[in-house]
A and B are shown apart, each in its own frame.
Chain A
Amino acid sequence: MEIEEKQAEVIDHFVKQASAQKGSALGSVVVEATSHPSLFAFSEILAVPTVAELEGTDNSVHLEVLRLFAHGTWSDYKRNSGKLPQLVPDQVLKLKQLTVLTLAETKKVLSYDQLMLELDVTNVRELEDFLINDCMYAGLVRGKLDQLRRYFEVQFAAGRDLRPGQLGSMIQTLSNWLATSDNLLVTIQDKIKWADTMSELDKKHRKELEDRVMEVKKAVSVKCSMTRPF
């Protein structure tokens, strides 16, 4: 997961900055963090105590922006644009990239129409440019663009920050996966036993046939030797 490696240093840097400052100064840190081109993970910054303190104060709007970038999409921003400060173009781009990641969470095949609706893009050319340059080259997603059927098949998408409830569903998915693979292992073992049994049966059958052939041959040769002398 190359993105995680690339992000690790940037995350450390911002966490240090956030813990060093307080209050309104954190606002500029938040803006810097959300416009940084290779930072897509914000839950570490959210966990810094000075940032959590912003809740309920005049500067809580910065906390809201951080939360939006951690879990929200472009449509969330549009709905609440009254309460949130104006976003810099870098932030807009990043929010759109994160929106693509969220869309890839639920479905593997994203239609161009849906993407254009979510991202506020009017023509296909712009959409494809955005997907190719900003999402694939940044390493966020890997997939195939199908222009004829107007689909984007996602093969790999980087993870976004986890919402508190998502851990439970991830554990559920993992246990399902485990159960399926256990069943599969049992099935394969049965098949192996079946293959061995069938080959045993086949060998026995063949041996029986050969024994019978030998007996008949002996009987015929005895008969021949009895009826021969004349």
Chain B
Amino acid sequence: MEIKRMASSSSSGLTFKLHPLVIVNISDHYTRVKSQLNPPPLTSTSATVNGVENQQQAPRVYGCVIGVQRGRTVEIFNSFELLYDPSTHSLDRPFLKKKQELYKKVFPHFYILGWYSTGSDAQESDMHIHRALMDINESPLYVLLNPAINPTQKDLPVTIYESELHVIDGIPQLIFVRSSYTIETVEAERISVDHVAHLKPSDGGSAATQLAAHLTGIHSAIKMLNSRIRVLHHYLVGMQKGDIPCENSLLRQVSSLLRRLPAIESEKFQDDFLMEYNDTLLITYLAMFTNCSSTMNELVDKFNTAYDRHSRRGGRTAFI
């Protein structure tokens, strides 16, 4: 059994740029496969129970990453999925070729830069796949996504590995070395990621509606401002009592800061603000009116239908 050896940093001098589309693709692929294997849980509580039980069965998904290499900068734009054949420990080559041709037609500049997989750490079996891809790209990349959700972790659970030839124990061996990367976004990617981030409150609080989520954001911002002002206040009181030596430059800065208050108090602001407030209220009222009248219309239609049938069956004159 080969001992797993990995150097901590790469020395090839290439800079990597990763697009968020790739990360979303990989996580989407993994989620789909995982939910197709296990029956989807009905409630959120049973999901956590299932998650703990199924950790050993977390499926590994595989695919290819494509992008552009310009000089020393490697930019990974997109990715697609591949089928993994566990019997031969290799990826499905004919499918790979077909996909490659299709992508070449749409994106002529994109080359296959490497492959991706999910898991918590790079393993030895990955080296086989890595070597197999070396005939397409002399130095492929290995993008690893860790699907375990760790709420305390601040960075993305994505690592990019390169392969390097190191001489270990007298034998030149290919090992994985970790490389650093930056996230690069196109305008469209930035808008969609931003939109998704705003839909769900990040701290998982009890904010049931979007309004409550928005207000919670404002609340935390004001709380931070409050704590900072409190520190300043404390400092000044201490200075007045004489506990802290007077520092004139700071006092000058504080006085210039306080002079900016009150920030907005002019008449013109009040006028504009009230106008916009009234406009919003009017439009909400109008929308409510339209809603009500359409519901009323439906009710009348249903009423008419019900009464018509009644009268027809009984042979009486139609209710007009």
Contacts and interface: CB of A to CB of B under 8 A. Distances in A.
A170 B222 contact: no
Interface in B235-289: 236-237, 239-240, 248-249, 251-256, 258-261, 266
A175 B233 contact: yes
A166 B255 contact: yes
Nearest to B233: A174
A87 B261 CA distance: 35
A224 interface: no
B219 A167 contact: no
A215 interface: no
A104 interface: yes
A218 B33 CA distance: 41
A51 to B, nearest CB: 14
Interface stretch (A57-65, A121-129, A154-162): A154-162
A208 interface: no
A19 interface: no
B318 to A, nearest CB: 22
Contacts of A171: 233, 236-237, 240
A104 B215 CA distance: 35
B206 interface: yes
A143 to B, nearest CB: 11
Interface residues of B, number: 35
A68 B211 CA distance: 55
A159 B256 contact: yes
Classify the interface of chain A: helix, strand, loop or mixed: helix
B218 interface: yes
Contact of A192 (B207, B222, B223, B229): B207
Given A4-B249, A155-B260, A170-B255, A196 B236 contact: no
A16 B166 CA distance: 61
Contacts of B254: 159, 170
Interface string A163-174: 000111011011
B232 A174 contact: yes
A8 B259 CA distance: 22
Interface string A95-125: 0000000001100010000000000000000
A9 B180 CA distance: 41
Nearest to A40: B252
B212 interface: yes
Interface stretch (A31-39, A74-82, A130-138, A183-191): A183-191
A43 B255 CA distance: 14
A178 interface: yes
Contacts of B207: 192, 196
Contact of A173 (B248, B256, B258): B258
Contacts of B225: 181
A22 B128 CA distance: 84
Interface pairs A-B: 5 shortest CB-CB: A159-B252, A159-B256, A159-B255, A174-B233, A195-B212
Interface of A: 1, 4, 7-8, 11, 41, 43-44, 47, 104-105, 109, 155-162, 166-168, 170-171, 173-175, 177-178, 181-182, 184-185, 188-189, 191-192, 195-196, 199-200
28 contacts: A1-B253, A7-B249, A11-B249, A41-B249, A47-B248, A105-B255, A105-B259, A157-B256, A159-B252, A159-B256, A162-B251, A162-B252, A166-B255, A167-B239, A170-B236, A170-B258, A173-B261, A174-B229, A174-B232, A174-B233, A174-B236, A178-B226, A189-B219, A191-B215, A196-B206, A196-B212, A199-B208, A199-B212
